[in-house]
Amino acid sequence: MHDSSDDFWWNDIAGPESFVKKVTDILLDRHVPLLLVPADIPWRHSMRNAVIERLTEIHTESCLEVFTIDALDECPENNIGEFLLQKFADRDTASAYRPRSGKTMQEYLTTQKVLTNKIIWVKGLSADQLQAWMDFCRQFETLSIENGIFIIENREPIPDSLPDIFQTVDFVQFVSHYDAMLFNSLLVSEKYSTLSRLRQGYISVAAAYLCEFDAELSESLLQQKEWFKKAPQDMLIELAKDETFIRRGERHGSPHVLTLLRENRITELSQRLWTAQIQVLFPILEMQRIKIIKRLYNKLQAILNTEVIEQFGQKVTTPYELEFGTLVFLMAKHDNSGNRCLYIPDETLRNAIINLRECRNLLAHRHQCCSPEQVDFILSFEEKNI
């Protein structure tokens, strides 16, 4: 793994790495990549560096330079040719251009080698500016490392019909939940090895579902020390105040987790955590049920031999069919002699069955999340019985 998480995300995780490779391939094919990226893309500067590094590895003979242009601030009036000429040409070259010379601005920039070995990375575009930059780029006869290349980073919808020179690269078509979970899992296993594998797995999946593709925020959430004492929503509230994330998730209506918090969209937030808990905790609860039944098998079989026990309107024929709720029912039920149908001398096990039933009912029937204390209980019970 790289020393820094940002390099690891963009260079080693399959989805982000494929995104970078696609951008590079488009440039090498002498086209202009139109990047459709979320406003809260993680480690934006590292993404740009990854593209440049890959290009540099291929064009070892070229001294590539990347220039990031914030269109709204630096070129608000869309006088793009004049802007590039003034920014990159020397004074004599810039002043020598005459529109009436018969050469277009694009031809002049090319013949004067103004953009040679330069990568012009344009960002911060309004819809009008996007169209203006597209119109400007399409008038180049050729775009190459030798003549200069453009990358347009965009957050607005891209027109359905594009000239051949442009190719769209949509971030969300390359990066999936699997990438976020893989990143979290590898990060946790390397940096937080004192946690059990069960706990590593839980916080990796929970952070991935909560933060989705924002691996930068996810990394900070994973570093929190109170995962099994404090709700992740509360930890995210604290992270939202951090200088790194103070402007993250600002766009109204965004699906970003910090937007959900700031707009009090608690139902959506809880649904994400519930999905993670269903994926991780539900199988553990089922394994625990089987282990408990194995431990109590003879007692349970004896009950089924003498009692008619039903679940969901069906007669139970084998102990392995018994759910937690039925086990609790049998512990409370008395036979004709006044004795409990299922007597378990071990108080710890009795309480565990009751608690596990409550956790399972929350997830399966109420579609509610387990509390941090309940998550800790489930994982601790499993760790003791592995």
Q: Is the pLDDT of residue 160 over 80?
A: no
Q: Is the pLDDT of residue 76 over 90?
A: no
- Tell me the pTM: 0.87
3-state SS, the chain, equals CCCCHHHHHHHHCHHHHHHHHHHHHHHHCCCEEEEECCCCCCCHHHHHHHHHHHHHHHCCCCCCEEEEEEHHHHCCCCCHHHHHHHHHCCHHHHHHCCHHHCCCHHHHHHHCCCCCCEEEEEECCCHHHHHHHHHHHCCCCCCECCCEEEEEEECCCCCCCCCCCEEEEEHHHHCCHHHHHHHHHHHHHHHCCCCCHHHHHHHHHHHHHHHCCCHHHHHHHHCCCCCCCCCHHHHHHHHHCCHHHCCCCCCCCCCCHHHHHHCCCHHHHHHHHHHHHHHHHHHHHHHHHHHHHHHCHHHHHHHHHHCCCEECCEECCCHHHCCHHHHHHHHHCECCCCCECCCCCCHHHHHHHHHHHHHHHHHHCCCCCCCHHHHHHHHHHHHHHC
pLDDT in tens, 42-59: 999 999 999 988 988 887
Distance CA 2, CA 190 (A): 11
Residue-level pLDDT at 158: 76
Q: How many CB atoms lie within 10 A of CB 135?
A: 12
Find, among 215, 209, 272, 269, the residue nearest to 237 by Cα. 269
pLDDT band at 307, cuts 50/70/90?
confident
Cross-strand bridge partners of residue 149: 119
Residue 126 burial by Cβ neighbours in a 10 Å radius (0-12, 13-18, 19+): middle
Least confident of 146-155, 217-226, 286-295: 146-155
Rg (CA), the chain: 30
pLDDT in tens, 192-232: 778 899 999 999 999 999 999 999 999 999 999 899 999 99
| 280-307 average pLDDT score | 94
Q: How many CB atoms lie within 10 A of CB 24?
A: 19
Least confident of 156-170, 217-231, 372-386: 156-170
Q: Is the pLDDT of residue 126 over 60?
A: yes
Contact 341, 330 (CB under 8 A): yes
pLDDT in tens, 242-273: 999 998 988 888 899 999 999 999 999 999 99
